[in-house]
Structure 1
Amino acid sequence: MFKNKLVSIMLIILMVLALVGAVAAIVVLKLTNNNQVKEPSAKEVVEATVQIDEITTNLSNDQFIRIAFSIQTDSKKAKEELEMRDFQVRDIIVKDLSDMKAEQFKGRQGLSELEERLKVKINKLMQEGKVVKVYTTSKMLQ
């Protein structure tokens, strides 16, 4: 009798552990699936991107740069706002470039740092969304 009771208790404990493990696995799977961010399609990216026409300005070391950007936003509303703020965005770009030297544009790192700084500064202006990424679409340094 004592042996049967012990076996029954062990079986119940094993079943409870298996049930708890299954529930935990389901919860973890559901949470990880919900946190996956779907990348936008190429069409969605284009619909939320603003082109900043070529800007020519002096750098701090008396050289000049001709540069253009594409700015990807997180929505069509943000794109519309950014288009209306074109003059403010161009002002931010010119001021940022005027503090830079030609050496800062050598290699990928300089451009990546510029793009990130512009993203942060432009996002401070935005009220209807945010800038996701700044792309340099052309650059000529002289």
Structure 2
Amino acid sequence: MRFRSALVVVMLATFGSAAFAECAVAPPEALDALEAKLAQTRAALAATPEPDRDKPGYRLLQERALVELEQVQCKREAAAPTEAVRRGPGVATTFAAIPVLFVTDRAAVEPPPDAGGFFGTQRRASGVVYGRVTVRTPAEN
């Protein structure tokens, strides 16, 4: 799905400055343990019946899943080798694909042919939509 700047605003309003937090606060657990915790939380989210998804407990599970996902990503980034990026004429720019989770209260609109989902400026009648998009950006050190 593609999204517009309105979703970024929603994301920033929801997460505030935590959206740009550094990974220094990642817990000392091993990556396998963090991934297991995230898998348990995701299973609990999937097992929640549809009528209970408007309750505060479900929202807390979603928030916990996002925090655990951030911790897993931080551990993966810390363990990844550094990238050597060269720039200049005749050098192909390498791109990184970055998964981004989002939430929006915007209504979906008809996408152009051969495109993912789009959201417009109108609000949904009720509820929110959660999603994941992949953002491609030039790779950096």
Output the TM-score relative to the length of structure 2: 0.25
**When you count helix as a share of all residues, which structure comes out higher?**
1
Between the two structures, name the one with larger relative contact order (CA 8 Å, sep ≥ 6): 2
Output the TM-score relative to the length of structure 1: 0.25
Which of these two proteins has the greater Rg computed from alpha carbons?
A: 1
